[in-house]
Chain A
Amino acid sequence: MNRINQKLQEDKKILSIYFSAGYPNLNDTVQIIQDLEKNGIDMIEIGLPFSDPLADGPTIQASSTQALHNGMTTQILFDQLENIRESVKIPLIIMGYFNPILQYGVEEFCKKCAAIGIDGLIIPDLPVDVYAEQYKETFEKYGIINVFLITPQTSDERIEFIDSVSNGFIYMVSSASVTGSQSGFGNTEESYFERIANMNLKSPQVIGFGISNKETFNQATKFAKGAIIGSAFIKHLSEKGTGNIAEFVKAIR
């Protein structure tokens, strides 16, 4: 069974962390992954940097730009991750925009992920209908889980379609925003979380965008299986460096 599905079956709320590969320094990728696992993180999204990240706010944009400036490429990331499964057991997901994956070749990319032990992909600008028509078979051939986003504006009908195409979890975007722009959840977000929880979807939901501390993590996981922290962790890396990951995780749970 795919490590993502295994993790989702565990009787606990999942804390997942996103960071941009190659940030703050080109060769920090593996150390950050190992430290996150050591500190009890359940799942990691490794950001494949892109020059034009449309869905990201200033924090992730800046880390992505810095990573590219440091020399990160798709091939270098794969080289860095080559032996990652010798030391890391938790599910690993690559999150990246579609163009770099398209240039690498979608099938080649999936094949490489499978060989390394990457369990899933999140590609925000690959629409679910294009995936279902053109790429689903390829992903399944290599056992790669594809994760789709939903937002407060997504219709019930479309959520049900996304649920039917999903084979891992659904990434619930907490509010209408790019990454890193929220500070705390109010009634609007909570009622959206509750509405989705009550849809009884087959796929578990993990909430992202706007999770930055213990409070927002607890609010999100009251309704969902887990939550993803991105910008807040990258801010922590920028301010405190890569040596204080334990401190960051302890403050969340």
Chain B
Amino acid sequence: MSFHVNEKGYYGEFGGAYIPEMLYPNVEELRQNYLKITADPSFQAEFDALLKDYVGRPTPLYFAERLSKKYNTKIYLKREDLCHTGAHKVNNTIGQILLAKRLGKNRIIAETGAGQHGVATATVCALMGLQCIVYMGEIDIKRQAPNVARMKMLGAEVRPALSGSKTLKDATNEAIRDWINNPVDTYYIIGSVVGPHPYPDMVARFQSVISAEIKTQLLEKEGRENPDHVIACVGGGSNAAGAFYHFLDEKDVNIIAVEAAGLGVDSGESAATSALGKIGIIHGSKTLLMQTPDGQITEPYSISAGLDYPGVGPMHAHLFASGRAEFISITDDEAMQFGLQLSKTEGIIPAIESAHAFAVLEQKKFGPDEIVVINLSGRGDKDLNTYIDYFKL
């Protein structure tokens, strides 16, 4: 069984491009060109150089000694939190901005939830001197004021999404509508492995640098390329796609995807798509989707703004349906407690998204000789207010 996209843009039965005809020329232009452009040696050289000198890659693979002792196993952290802008998101925006330039586009649009992808997009637009418009739900703009300010400092225009529930899914709808209205000069940088084909595959390829580095670094440290387990959190799923990518076909690697249970999977306030979703269409992709029996998309909940997406990338839907990956859901409380624990045990304050991945250590026992790699997808600076409120710091 293949876990990569097929020539029609599907992972098993998931994926495809369920888009209005108005978007067809844009998406088709991308589909026809993305592999050709990204395979070009001059593209590769520019991408690699920016990842190295601008983003700060390779990010360390850090052996967490105290944490390992506590859980009696060998735990490595992939330090995406040390990337420029504070999370893995920038790996993708660097790739897509280089692609946009080669396609001759001069106006960049993006959607953002918590603001991390918006900041990563505004950053690369500043770097390249391109116009940048970021759509953000009106409610998120209020919740994430520091990231709104960062985007503005970087020269981006932040446009509030006023429709629907005024959060991430609506910001995505607004970005898509903008692209419909501006089909010629505009490029849409999607922030996760979601959307119509070829976006899920393209974003996964740009993020796959994470697992490529894990292999090299683990070989140096342990004399083997493959860990026993690789763990990452999944909202749309871009950091997980990157962390899993080069292990998908390695049968000896157990893949663990961690979703946000919010207040509990059955509480009605959750974002655990694999448990609560059914197959459906969101943002141009056929995937697992939280929806009413009538097919209306429902609003998910998680304390972590980066995980409250009602769908999941089609690659992850396939990993779930095929049984290739194990899906675990972690509540707000479990994630918050582990965020504090990681801070005190290793001196690293994680993003609340990433803290969900770590909380698996409390749920699942690993052997003393097993190697567990956890993707630390982002740092917790952006979440300080949430930590302060939660722990009354």
**A-side interface residues toward B, CB under 8 Å?**
50-55, 57-58, 61, 65, 68, 73-75, 97-104, 124-128, 130, 148-151, 153-155, 158, 173, 176-178, 181
Contacts and interface: CB of A to CB of B under 8 A. Distances in A.
Given A100-B295, A100-B296, A103-B295, A125 B180 contact: no
B200 to A, nearest CB: 16
A154 B25 contact: yes
Contact of B173 (A54, A104, A149): A54
Given A68-B296, A176-B183, A55 B18 contact: no
B295 to A, nearest CB: 4
Given A61-B163, A73-B294, A153-B25, A54 B20 contact: yes
B281 A176 contact: no
Nearest to B169: A52
6 contacts: A51-B164, A55-B22, A99-B282, A177-B180, A178-B22, A178-B181
B182 A173 contact: no
Interface in B1-51: 16-22, 24-25
B266 to A, nearest CB: 21
Given A100-B295, A104-B295, A125 B19 contact: yes
Contacts of B283: 54
Contact of B18 (A58, A61, A98, A149): A98
Interface residues of B, number: 35
Given A125-B281, A177-B22, 4 more contacts: A54-B283, A103-B280, A128-B21, A153-B183
The 9 closest A-B pairs by CB, nearest first: A103-B295, A100-B295, A149-B21, A51-B296, A153-B25, A55-B20, A124-B20, A99-B281, A99-B295
Contacts of B223: none
A151 B22 contact: yes
A103 B181 CA distance: 29
A130 B19 CA distance: 11
Given A57-B177, A98-B281, A154-B24, A127 B18 contact: yes
A44 to B, nearest CB: 21
A127 B294 contact: no
Contacts of B22: 55, 149, 151, 153, 173, 176-178
Contacts of A153: 22, 24-25, 183-184
B281 A173 contact: no
A102 B173 contact: no
B284 interface: yes
Contacts of A57: 177
A101 B164 contact: no
A154 B27 CA distance: 12
Nearest to A155: B25
Nearest to B279: A102
Interface in B167-190: 169-170, 173, 176-177, 180-184
Nearest to A126: B18
B171 to A, nearest CB: 12
Contacts of A103: 278, 280, 291, 293-295
Nearest to A181: B181
Contact of A102 (B183, B281, B284): B281
B297 interface: yes
A46 to B, nearest CB: 16
A176 B164 contact: no
Nearest to A177: B181
Contact of A74 (B24, B164, B170, B295): B295
A140 to B, nearest CB: 21
A65 B164 contact: yes
A23 to B, nearest CB: 15
Interface in B254-301: 278-284, 289, 291, 293-297
A150 B24 CA distance: 10
A103 to B, nearest CB: 4
B20 A125 contact: yes
Contacts of B293: 103
A176 B24 CA distance: 12
Contacts of B284: 54, 125
Contact of B280 (A99, A149, A176): A99
A15 to B, nearest CB: 23
Contacts of A154: 21, 24-25
Given A124-B20, A178-B177, A178-B180, A52 B294 contact: no
Contact of A55 (B170, B180, B296): B180
A173 B295 contact: no
A104 B181 CA distance: 31
Contacts of A177: 22, 180-181
Contact of A149 (B20, B25, B184, B279): B20
A181 B181 CA distance: 9
